[in-house]
Amino acid sequence: MKLIKNIIVQCLMLLLAIPLTVSASVPLGDKKPKQPTEQQKFRQADLFAQAIIEREKSNYEEALKLIDKALGVIPSDAAANYEKARLLLQMGRKDEALGFAETAVENDNNNKWYKVLHARIAKEMGDYKTYVKDYETLVEQYPNDINFVQELAFAYYYTNDLKNAIKYFDRMEEIMGMNEGLTTQKADLYNKMGKNDMAVAEYEKLIKHNPNESRYYVLLAEYATKTKDIDKAIWAYKKVLELNPDDPFAHISLADFYRQQGNSEQSFEELKEGMANKELELKTKVNVLVSYYKGELDDEQKQQTLELSEILKKVHPDDALAETFYASMLYENKKYEEAYKIFSKMVESEGVNYPVWEQLLFCDLYLNDYNRLATDSEKALEFFPSYPLPWFFAGISYAQNKQYEKAIDRLEKGKEFVVNNNALLEQFYSSLGDAYNQVGNNKAAYDAFDKTLKLNPQNSIVLNNYAYYLSLEKKGLDKAAEMGKKAIELDPYNNNNLDTYAWVLFQQQKYHEALEWIKKAYDNGGDSSGVVNEHYGDILYKLGKTDEALKYWKAAKTKKEHSDLLDKKIKEKMFYE
């Protein structure tokens, strides 16, 4: 309470010390406006002080009521009108605020802050004409106030009066002295006006002011690059290197310049210089390389990233980031065995780094080393038992090694850890379907396939496998035919899909249609498949073409995959199932 009383006393003293201003209008002839009494002054000051207290407590509605009461006592008081304008602006009532700011300025034209508020409200309302006019007045009254000069320069910029904007940027330069920020802003303005020679002159003036500052040459080079003044850009970059031949940023800037010009070879050479510099920290180097080589890379770019990452590894031999980046680039270049060796060492020393484990597992996968994939997946699960991918890799590796019960165990457990990743969950169910089929649990297999197709009805592999397994059981053949046809629509030249559909038709005893589709399977690469050749023979046999059937059965015998009954078919020249 003592603090509040002190504020009120201070406000009273302040208001009594400043002559109160009244409206300039005179209602009747030459009659002077009535001056407030001492009692009114004290009453108004008390209300004003209470309003300030409420505003400080963010009680804006209450503060506004008190200000209105203060204005009811002395309507022309500039300070009260200013305070009401501020309050209304804070409350988002800009239209109302502007009028009270105008009254404040009218009643005390010498208070710069009243004009500043008026200009601010006008700007926020999009009234740039008033905004400019207010700051013209302020700069005229306070010609050396850098904030007002700067605001006027921007006011002209907002109103697209670029000529006057430059004039006041020049005035700022007179007050503050030459600096990089002002030069860049002026150059930008000249660029917008189509006066590139003037923009270049600004940078050259900055360079002349301090010819040993390499950063200024970089600014000129960057501007010249943007305006396609190639000769000027090259000259400026060369000056940078003359001043600082070991400056890594100069080489990186030059690399960017050459890249923009389409000179990838020279860009790469400059990048190598920058990456080889020990003074530039590794994180910065990696960020630069990531920005250069992002998206889908061609073979040449992949090779470049590998060479650059090798430089980083040599320059920073004890930094794990350099080692990781190098291994990642080996991986991107499909040098999986080399990458695996580095990732393997890293997980031995820092087993808790999951991203490294993941890349290591992918190396196993791409190398088709399912024995090692199983071992590494189990190791990863010791550290990351709630991560689904190691479970998945363990499952598919066991399935590849025909350890189907183990595969089912890992896949069933791992799918429970999948969160917000339907694509991965789809892979779990698809693999489970195949594994359950292999152990003869068709009910569980079909349930897993149904869940897969619910997640992705366009999965042509599952559509094909599901249809084929049904055809082997001679169950749900209409559903199998529908899925087989859809698989062909999604992947029309896949001989597996074509063969499956032919076999479903065979099981439906639609032999002529089956022959049409088995021919397509054969013509689309199925001629090298034992299964396709055997099915071709089976269909021909059912159509009464035993000699032709025998020809395809014998061809199937020379291939890797065929049924156990094939020898019997050939020997007895009869179809068996």
In a domain, residue 193? The reply is yes
Number of Cβ within 10 Å of residue 514's Cβ equals 25
- What is the pLDDT confidence band of residue 261, given thresholds at 50, 70 and 90? confident
pLDDT at residue 375 tops 50: yes
Contact 467, 481 (CB under 8 A): yes
User: Minimum mean pLDDT among 109-113, 290-294, 465-469, 495-499: which range?
Assistant: 290-294
pLDDT at residue 40 tops 70: yes
Global pTM value: 0.64
- What is the pLDDT confidence band of residue 383, given thresholds at 50, 70 and 90? very high
Q: Which of 526, 536, 538, 540 is nearest to 497 (CA)?
A: 526
pLDDT at residue 100 tops 70: yes
State residue 33's pLDDT score.
Answer: 55
**Cα dihedral 217, 219, 224, 230 sign:** positive
Task: Write down the mean pLDDT value for the chain.
Answer: 89
In a domain, residue 278? The reply is no
Structural domains in the chain (count): 1
Which domain, by its residues, includes 183? 178-245
pLDDT above 90 covers what percent of the chain? 60
Q: Which of 528, 500, 495 is nearest to 514 (CA)?
A: 500
State residue 34's pLDDT score.
Answer: 66
Write the CATH number for 201: 1.25.40.10
pLDDT at residue 399 tops 90: yes
In a domain, residue 109? The reply is no
- The stretch 141-151 carries a mean pLDDT of 92
- In whole angstroms, what is the distance from residue 539 CA to residue 505 CA? 10
State residue 351's pLDDT score.
Answer: 67
User: Minimum mean pLDDT among 146-150, 157-161, 348-352: which range?
Assistant: 348-352
State residue 2's pLDDT score.
Answer: 40
- In whole angstroms, what is the distance from residue 61 CA to residue 55 CA? 9
In a domain, residue 237? The reply is yes
Contact 359, 327 (CB under 8 A): yes
- The total number of residues shown for the chain amounts to 577
- What is the pLDDT confidence band of residue 5, given thresholds at 50, 70 and 90? very low
In a domain, residue 526? The reply is no
Contact 434, 464 (CB under 8 A): no
Number of Cβ within 10 Å of residue 43's Cβ equals 17
In a domain, residue 360? The reply is no
State residue 163's pLDDT score.
Answer: 92
In a domain, residue 453? The reply is no
In a domain, residue 205? The reply is yes
- In whole angstroms, what is the distance from residue 480 CA to residue 473 CA? 11
